[in-house]
Amino acid sequence: MLLSVENLRIGFGPLEPLVGVDLGVDKGEILGLVGESGSGKSMTAMSVMGLLPLMGGRIKQGRIVFDGTDLTGLGEKAYRKLRGGRIALITQNPMTSLDPVVRVGRQIDQTAELHLGLSRKAAKARTIELMDRMRIPAPQHTYEQFPHQLSGGLRQRIVIAMALAGDPDLLIADEPTTALDVTVQAQIIQLLVELVRDRGLGLVLITHDMGVIAQTCDRVAVMYCGRVVEYGPVATIFDDPRHPYTKALISCIPQVGMAPGSLTGIPGMVPSARDMPPGCRFNPRCDSVMDICRAREPQINTEAGRSVACFLYAGDRP
């Protein structure tokens, strides 16, 4: 595995946004991370990027193994080399990753200069090539533009080019297309998929969209309230979802020919971090809830390459 997260638990004071997350991604593979708002997808990304301390959080338990090295003990100085170098992050809002007063081309150059030690001239040549690869029209011209002069879709392509400029092995894309219109969304996802296939990158794709997961990912980790509740190959999980939460998410994917307005969310609300229900965190919303689900928290069980944390499928079923 290029990256494996093992039993990760993180804390912000008394709050624990992640309580035992396990997942992995290999080179040339796309792992989808899905779940409703607040499930811990971004926190997982922040943990891998080593950004928790800067946000006031910390790792309480578990390991984050990247290319054979546990990153959990790594200091900020070592992490700074890794970030933007071997591991890159793309976020939802490209403006947060871009400097408004620096020409976009230079911003890509700077990543290559910093992480690959290229000269300014070599970096520029590489930037133009990368921009071309991102299908940015007229790269020579766009190179000179400032972020505010570009459309949202172009800005996100610049951010992806910047993420690639350090020649990373692992890319984490945290809802990279949420802010974009549907056509542009599809183009950006397509670009990311090509990068994985052509360059052998490992990609963690964070999204709310089960449809995107089904179409693009190799494996999926379904998160709910700081846990991975189901994990496995996309084909397996979509053919035969086990966790009631996964089933609910899949049933919310809009189908072709569905009447407008018939789109429904999952009934009930995600509990707040301060008010977690005892037992399985999904039990108040689960249509298959049993007594034990209110009493005990199900462990994640792995069987035949897939994992699920649910008493319906637990070895220790009552």
Which residues lie near ligand ATP (CB under 6 A)?
A: 12, 15, 17, 35, 37-43, 55, 208, 273
Could you tell me which stretch among 3-11, 36-44, 193-201, 246-254 binds Mg ion (CB under 5 A)? 36-44
Could you tell me which stretch among 39-47, 141-149, 154-162, 223-231 binds Mg ion (CB under 5 A)? 39-47
| Among residues 42, 91, 111, 246, the one that binds Mg ion under rule CB under 5 A | 42
The Cα 24–Cα 202 span in angstroms is: 10
Is 47 a binding residue for Mg ion by CB under 5 A? The answer is: no
Task: Give whichever of 41 and 285 is closer to Mg ion, judged by the CB atom.
Answer: 41
Task: Give whichever of 166 and 226 is closer to ligand ATP, judged by the CB atom.
Answer: 226
Are 153 and 188 in contact by the 8 Å Cβ rule? The answer is yes
Q: In whole angstroms, how close is the CB of 174 to ligand ATP at the nearest point?
A: 7
Q: What would the DSSP string read from start to end of 177-215?
A: TTTS-HHHHHHHHHHHHHHHHHH--EEEEEES-HHHHHH
Q: In whole angstroms, how close is the CB of 42 to Mg ion at the nearest point?
A: 3
Q: Which residues contact 308 (CB under 8 A, 6 or more apart)?
A: 229, 230, 231, 242, 243, 300, 301
For the chain, how long is the longest CA-to-CA vector? 67
Residue with tokens 């090539």, as numbered in its chain: 129
Q: Which two tokens mark 97?
A: 């990753």
Q: In whole angstroms, how close is the CB of 85 to Mg ion at the nearest point?
A: 23
Containing 233, the helix (H) or strand (E) segment is strand 227-233
Partner whose footprint covers residue 17, from ligand ATP, Mg ion, none (CB < 5 to 8 Å by kind) = ligand ATP
Q: In whole angstroms, how close is the CB of 206 to ligand ATP at the nearest point?
A: 7
Residue with tokens 């971004």, as numbered in its chain: 42
Q: In whole angstroms, how close is the CB of 48 to ligand ATP at the nearest point?
A: 12
Residues that bind Mg ion (CB under 5 A): 41-42
